[in-house]
Every structure is written in C-alpha cells, then in structure tokens.
Structure 1
C-alpha cells in the first residue's frame, strides 16, 4: 500500500514541476510579446 502512495506522490510532484515549467514558459512568452509590442510602438512614431 505504501508503495502505491509513494508512486502517487511522485506523480503529483512530477505534474507540479511540469506545471511550474509551463507557467515559466508563459511568462517568458508574455515578456517577448511585450518587447515586440514596444518595438512596434517605438517604430510607429
């Protein structure tokens, strides 16, 4: 029984790491998009 619980907790930890990596990717993409948008505004003036 404890082996199954350890496996479940390991899976939950892996999913949490994956979710954290996805959040980091979204943040980086948003940062790149804002830099590009700023470049468009600067070029447009």
Structure 2
C-alpha cells in the first residue's frame, strides 16, 4: 500500500509546514511585543 504511505507523508509534510509557519508567526509577535514594551514611553518618534 504505497499510496497510504504517500498520503501519510503528505499529511506529515503539511502538518510540519503549518507548525513551522505558526511558530515563526508567534516568534515575530513576541519580538514585536517585547520591543513595544521596552520602548521609552516618553520618547516621541515624530520629533527626531
């Protein structure tokens, strides 16, 4: 039954890629969140 193995491999590949994209998204969100909270609240970026 090579077809079942191929479908399983495709499912694992799709699941792995989805997990990788999700992980990358979470990392970007957390980095932006940390950068936002580490900024100086009295620093006005419009007056450089």
Give the shorter-chain TM-score range.
0.7 to 0.9
Unpaired stretches in structure 1, ≥5 consecutive residues: none
What TM-score do the two structures reach when normalised by structure 1?
A: 0.84
Larger Rg: 2
Unpaired stretches in structure 2, ≥5 consecutive residues: 43-48
What TM-score do the two structures reach when normalised by structure 2?
A: 0.79
Could you say which residue in structure 1 is the equivalent of 2:6? 6
Number of aligned pairs?
42
Structural RMSD (CA): 1.0
1:43 aligns with 2:36: no
Runs of 4+ in 1 over 4 A off after TM superposition: none
